[in-house]
Amino acid sequence: MHITLKVWRQTGPDATGRFETYEAPDISPEMSFLEMLDLVNERLIEAGREPIEFDSDCREGICGTCGLMINGQAHGPQRATATCQLHMREFSDGEHITVEPWRAAAFPIVKDLVVNRAALDRIVEAGGFITARVGSAPDANLIPVPKESADAAMDAAACIGCGACVAACPNSAAQLFTAAKVQHLNLLPQGQAQRWSRTQEMVETMELFFGSCTNYGECHEACPKEISLDFIAMMNRDYVKAMLTNRQRDGQKKVG
């Protein structure tokens, strides 16, 4: 295959970036998209030019490190597939492919195609946990969890934190990520004690960085794990309840 690549090059966070065009001849359709970039880099190094920086680690679609905007789609054209599992056979010989980094105010570009997604960690740190000191846990079978709840929680917990939802959202909203993180824990009996403080803290921290949800649904289409929009609705519902419950609890604190 012969591919023409248009790749975003930017030397640093404050530098001005631009597209550069690279010809990539002799590409095997069996290659993954990132292996194609590896090869392009190898040839760039041979020619004495700086290779293209891009993020990747596990290359089996689970760590969430990779993520590129490929022809205007987060993680490229294949559904439910992270960039690392996208293969060149999805493209045709002679195709022009545009590769850009995720873009959002909360994801500043580090270099070329690499962005900083630390904002997602801030959301989790705000409340995306169940406080259970090591040593204090009761026997695991002491809390029966309905299979349906466990399955739904697992559906949410499948999120790999790649940020494709933010990248694909016309508003740069992180609703799908946050909803997945909130509902994974809110759906489980173990998560109930911190349910309302978690929901409020995580939603409000999310809004410090990201845009708002206008229900476009692009996030779900881009998500490599096909996380459902239903979780966003659940989070919206929980957020109102959280506002009321937390207010009530504040009141109780004052009385006590």
Instruction: Answer whether 62's CB lies under 8 Å from 75's CB.
Output: no
Neighbouring residues of 171: CB distance < 8 A, sequence distance ≥ 6: 211, 212, 213, 214, 216
User: Please, which residue, 4 or 41, has the CB nearer to other proteins?
Assistant: 41
CA nearest neighbour of 228 among 170, 175, 163, 162: 175
- Min separation Cβ 91 and other proteins, Å: 13
CB atoms < 10 A from the CB of 117, how many?
A: 24
Grouping H, G, I as helix, E, B as strand and the rest as coil, residue 145 is coil
User: Please, which residue, 23 or 50, has the CB nearer to other proteins?
Assistant: 50
User: Please, which residue, 23 or 42, has the CB nearer to other proteins?
Assistant: 42
- Min separation Cβ 94 and other proteins, Å: 18
Neighbouring residues of 225: CB distance < 8 A, sequence distance ≥ 6: 80, 158, 159, 160
User: Please, which residue, 23 or 77, has the CB nearer to other proteins?
Assistant: 77
User: Please, which residue, 59 or 95, has the CB nearer to other proteins?
Assistant: 59
- Min separation Cβ 114 and other proteins, Å: 6
- Min separation Cβ 101 and other proteins, Å: 9
- Min separation Cβ 22 and other proteins, Å: 14
Residue 173's Cβ-side half-sphere holds a number of Cα atoms within 13 Å equal to 20
